[in-house]
Structure 1
């Protein structure tokens, strides 16, 4: 505020007074974006198990097309895990069968593009280069599990993993029997038969039952 030469307050001049500021519009609080109601843990587990039961893991046989040039490193009895790559392809990484990362075991290696002896195997085709249109080999992959192992993401070949049975993400517990013993699986289990060798049946039992 300016002052007169004598130090007093200047008189109000209506002709030189600044224009009043326009009033600010009244703005209320922003409308919150509606959030979906969170699912309870039992509901999530029910949804996951419903998917497992509906698919029956039969889609395992359709998994996996790799354009890896490392096919010469694989052989029956070795174990590996799968990862997603750019372009929709998948690749494999070998690992010790005792490693928690080794989710699949190679039961058989076939020449070219070939079906496996049992529909529960994952048929993983290997190509010599990214431009190859003909598979060099086909790996017949079985779940690498022992009785008592628990799994999460059982319907995703690149995300399936072994976890503690007390882990909230655990979806299924494996029960493994030698031979073709699907009768060992209950009606709520998903039964997978592998001709091997060794021939075995894997029952994937929903977690929370007999653990």
Structure 2
């Protein structure tokens, strides 16, 4: 800044005056991150009931269809697991009953298309060829589990698998009782009765703090 010869302030020159500084924006408090709404009691109950309903009997009583010619190799007492195939069909692969992959046990082999003696069985029909329209055999499949076994994907007969009970994917723990003892299952369990032999009841208990 310059001064006049007399030491006073220079006259204001509007043509040479510096441009005014832009006003500083007002800074307010930071916008808080929105928190998720807490689940209502009803929502929590609905989630629990949904898990229990997913273990329903009807979801396990599916019909399987296989075009495999290996049906002559199956017999009561053997174990297997199911896989999805092209065209919406399913196939089976036999496995040792002590294998973790063997999710089903054949309790009975029936001729033709036939109902199993108990509605909790998976009825798996076997056809001699892809062009066959009439089932040659029906396998009555029961869950191949022992007390303490834990399962995931219990509503999918081709994806159900045994897992460690500490696995995050574990959905149910099996409790097996010889004979017809559905009273051994609690109200939250899914009770599956198999006429066998041997006759047994499987309680599928939703995983929780006591597992």
Fold in common (TM above 0.5): yes
* 2:191 aligned counterpart, secondary structure: strand
Aligned 8 A contact 1:52 1:155 in 2? no
1:14 deviation in Å?
Answer: 35
Alpha-carbon distance, 1:44 to partner: 11
- CA-CA distance at 1:57 after TM superposition: 2.4
CA drift at 1:200: 0.1
**Higher alpha-carbon deviation: 91-100 or 19-28:** 19-28
Q: Is the 8 A contact 2:60 2:154 kept in 1?
A: no
By how many angstroms is 1:210 displaced? 3.0
Name the SS of the counterpart of 1:107 in structure 2.
strand
Distance in structure 2 (CA, Å) of the matches to 1:193 and 1:177? 10
Which range moved further: 13-22 or 60-69? 13-22
- Report if the CA contact (8 A) 1:103-1:143 is conserved: yes
Closer/same/farther in 2, CA of residues 22 and 51 from structure 1, 3 Å limit: same
Q: Secondary structure at the match of 2:61?
A: helix
| Equivalent position of 1:107 in the other structure | 107
Q: Deviations over 1:61-114 (max 9, x none)?
A: 333111111100000000000000000000000000000000000000000000
Range moving further from structure 2, 61-70 or 18-27: 18-27
Once the two structures are superposed, residues 8-51 of structure 1 have per-residue CA deviations (whole angstroms, 9 ceiling, x without a partner) of 99999999999999999999999999999999999999758625
Stretch of structure 1 that moved more, 177-186 or 60-69: 60-69
The TM-score, its normalising length taken from structure 1, stands at: 0.77
What is the DSSP-based 3-state SS (H/G/I as helix, E as strand, rest coil) of the residue aligned with 1:70?
Answer: helix
> Residues of 1 paired with 2:10 and 2:126: CA distance?
92
Aligned CA RMSD, in angstroms, stands at 6.7
Tell me how far 1:208 sits from its aligned partner.
Answer: 1.1
Task: Give the direction of change, closer, same or farther, for the CA distance of 1:40–1:182 in structure 2 (3 Å limit).
Answer: same
- Mapped to 2, the partners of 1:4 and 1:77 lie a distance apart of 115
Are the equivalent residues in 2 in contact too, given 1:76–1:107 (CA < 8 A)?
yes
- 2:28 aligned with 1:46, yes or no? no
8 A Cα contact 1:69 1:127, kept in partner: yes
8 Å contact kept, 1:105–1:141:
yes
TM-score normalised by structure 2 residue count = 0.77
Between structure 1 and structure 2, the one with the greater Rg is 2
18-27 or 36-45, larger mean C-alpha shift: 18-27
Structure 1: gaps (5+ residues): none
- Give the Cα–Cα distance (whole angstroms) in 1 for the partners of residues 62 and 116 of structure 2: 11
Distance in 1 of aligned mates of 2:125 and 2:106: 12
* Alpha-carbon distance in 2 for matches of 1:148, 1:72: 33
The alpha-carbon deviation at position 5 of structure 1 amounts to 52
